[in-house]
Amino acid sequence: MRNAFAVTVGLVVAGLVVFLLYILGPQFFTFPDGANPMDPDSIKQNMHLIPSGAMVLVIVAHCFGIIGGMLASTAVSEKSLLPAYIVSGIIILGSIGSSFVMSHPTWSIFAGMISVIGAFFIGRKVAINRLNEE
């Protein structure tokens, strides 16, 4: 039961981290006229006009979401890495899936795949260190 709660907490934390970084995009990057950064359909239709920096910020958001979610789930679980692995797997699959659904450019898809897998290994190291502290 504790591990199920740990997964839930990890997903909530990961989602919040990703969302907070997503909302920074329009603060730093000018989106095309008519493109609403909070509307997935609008983003999909205007993907070819979205600044590259905004796409990089999305990749960074997913990476920090994975690490934050893994750390949060491990803190709640206190004994197992399984919740962290489940959280990271869900975020990785969601990240890769959304890249294809939103018609991201090829470079963004590959960079995203490589970076979220790297984030998993960083998150794993942080989670292991967290478990070893207790």
**Annotated domain spans of the chain:** 2-133
As a whole number, mean pLDDT of residues 55-63 equals: 92
Task: Give dist(CA 113, CA 42) in Å, integer.
Answer: 23
* Residue 64 contacts residue 17 (beta carbons within 8 Å): yes
* Residue 115 contacts residue 63 (beta carbons within 8 Å): yes
Between 35 and 88, residue with greater pLDDT: 88
As a whole number, mean pLDDT of residues 18-32 equals: 83
- Binned at pLDDT 50, 70 and 90, residue 43 comes out as confident
Model confidence at 26: pLDDT above 80: no
Place of tokens 């979205």: 50
